[in-house]
Amino acid sequence: MTQITVQSRWTPRHPERIQLYSFPTPNGIKVSLALEEMALPYEAHTIHIGKGDQDSEAYRTISPNGKIPTLLDPNGPNGQPIAIMESGAILYYLAEKTSLFMPSDPIAKSEALQWLFFQVGHIGPMFGQFGHFHKFARGKCDHPYPLERYTHETRRLLGVLEERLKKHPFLLPYGYSIVDMATFPWVEGLIGFYDAAHELGFDDFPTVKHWLQCCIERPAFAVARKVAAPA
């Protein structure tokens, strides 16, 4: 019996490169962004979440939870291949691999991980739930509670970012990092894909707006937002 693998369905043309399996959502963009910023050779494969690619048996061999993105590095630790799921874990792995965009000092690294986990545990889930009820569930859920709850929580989290960014230009004192890469695609999604700047009162967060513009203007973002997009 032939063993099903992710590469049996998405065959690499350049197997010596990092293989990225993704879709241009905020979670997908942040890993593409890191690969671009770190100038790592990679090959991208579209996991079309609208068509259910993430639920295929082949994809689940490297992503048991059926979420994007995932990454295969043929030259992982000790020269061995490694598969990684979960976007935050991928960003941490790439920063460790390259010694880029994350401080090496243990105390500074702890601060970086705290803010990375803040994105993974709060920014992503809450912004995503807000976006769902704001854009997709208006005709399916006529009760005001879900949208009110997630609007309030999204504004609260934007306030956390606002206060943090008043202290220094980026989310870490040491400059642009994987924490910014993890976070700003979600903020951009609020005013872009979800078109919710007015409903969220985004003008109330001028420091966040300035930071977001600085991040968006980085050349890597123009590339990253198109990586693994459907043909």
Residue 168, CA atoms < 13 Å, CB-side half-sphere: 9
What local confidence, expressed as pLDDT, does residue 3 receive?
66
Instruction: Identify which of 119, 112, 19, 114 has the alpha carbon closest to the alpha carbon of residue 69.
Output: 19
At 52-76, the pLDDT tens digits run 999 999 999 999 999 999 999 999 9
At 5-53, the pLDDT tens digits run 999 999 999 999 999 999 999 999 999 999 999 999 999 999 999 999 9
Per the DSSP assignment, residues forming a β-bridge with 72 are 19, 83
Q: Whole-structure pTM over 0.75, yes or no?
A: yes
What local confidence, expressed as pLDDT, does residue 141 receive?
87
Tell me: cis bond preceding 69? Omega within 30 of 0 counts.
yes
- pLDDT level of residue 231 (50, 70, 90 thresholds): confident
% of the chain residues with pLDDT over 70: 99
CA distance 181 to 186: 10
Tell me the average pLDDT across 211-217. Answer: 98
What are the structural domains of the chain? 6-101 (3.40.30.10), 106-218 (1.20.1050.10)
- pLDDT level of residue 142 (50, 70, 90 thresholds): confident
Instruction: Identify which of 231, 215, 228 has the alpha carbon closest to the alpha carbon of residue 47.
Output: 228
CA distance 43 to 73: 10
